[in-house]
A and B are shown apart, each in its own frame.
Chain A
Amino acid sequence: MKTKTSFLICLLLVLLSPVLPVVAEHQETQPPQEDFRKQIGTIIVTPGNGPNLAVADFISRSAGLEAATAAFNQVLWADLEYAAVSGLVGKSLYPKTLVPDPASLKFDEWSGDPIKADYVAFGNLQNTGGAASADTYLYDVKTKQQLIASRHTGETRRIAHEFADEVVKLLTGRDGIATSKIAYVAGDSIKVMDYDGFNQRNFASDGPMVRFPQFSPDGRYLAYVSFKTGVPNIVVRSAEGGLIGGTSFNATTTSPTISSSGQLAFSSAMGGDGSMEIYVSNLDGSGARRLTRTPHGINISPRWNPQTGREIAFISDRAGTPQVYVMDSSGANQRALIARGGQADSPSWSPDGRYVAFTYGGAGSFQIFVADVASGQLLQLTSQGRNESPTWSPDSRHLSFQSNRSGRWEVWQAHIDGSGQRAITRGGGRSPTWAK
Chain B
Amino acid sequence: MERKYSRLAAIIFTASILIALVGCAKPKVQLQVSRDRLQQGEEVRVSWSSKDAKQVTLNGNPVDKTGAQVFTPDTTTTYLAVATRGNKAARDSKVVAVAPKPERPTLKISADQEAITRGQSTTLRWSSNNADRVTISELGTVPSSGSRVVSPSQSTTYNGTAVGPGGTENASARVTVTEEAPTERPRTTNTGPSPTMAAIFAQNIRPIYFELDKSDLTAESRDTLRRSAAWLTQGSNRSIMFRIEGNCDPRGTEEYNIGLGERRAQAAKEFLASLGVDASRIQTVSYGKERAAGTSEGGPTQAPSWAHDRRDDFIYASGGAPRNP
Contact = CB atoms under 8 A, between A and B. Distances in A.
Are both chains from one complex?
Answer: yes
Interface of A: 1, 4-5, 7-8, 10-15, 17, 19-20, 66-67, 70-71, 74, 96, 187-188, 198, 208-209, 211-212, 227, 230-232, 250-252, 254-255, 267, 269, 274-276, 296, 298-301, 315, 317, 321-322, 343, 345-346, 359, 363-364, 366, 388-389, 408, 426-428, 430-431
Interface in B110-156: 130-132, 143-146
B95 A74 contact: yes
A7 B15 contact: yes
Interface of B: 8, 11-12, 14-15, 18-19, 22, 26, 30, 32, 36-37, 39, 47, 49-53, 65-66, 78, 80, 91, 93-95, 97, 99, 102, 130-132, 143-146, 164-165, 213, 215, 243, 250-256, 258-263, 265-267, 269-270, 283-286, 290
Contacts, number: 169
A356 to B, nearest CB: 15
B97 A198 contact: yes
A320 to B, nearest CB: 10
Contacts of A1: 8, 11
A254 B53 CA distance: 64
Q: Please list the 6 inter-chain residue pairs (A to B) with the smallest Cβ-Cβ separation, ordered nearest first.
A: A345-B253, A298-B259, A364-B251, A67-B78, A274-B266, A70-B93
Contact of B22 (A4, A15, A227): A15
Contacts of B144: 187-188, 208-209
> Which DSSP category, helix, strand, loop or mixed, fits chain B's interface?
mixed
9 contacts: A4-B15, A13-B66, A188-B143, A251-B283, A252-B284, A254-B259, A269-B286, A359-B254, A431-B254
A209 B284 contact: no
A94 to B, nearest CB: 13
Contacts of A366: 253
A274 B259 CA distance: 11
Nearest to A389: B254
B30 A208 contact: no
B253 A359 contact: yes
A321 B164 CA distance: 34
A14 B94 contact: no
A274 B26 contact: no
B228 to A, nearest CB: 18
Contacts of A346: 253-255
A231 B283 contact: yes
Nearest to A346: B255
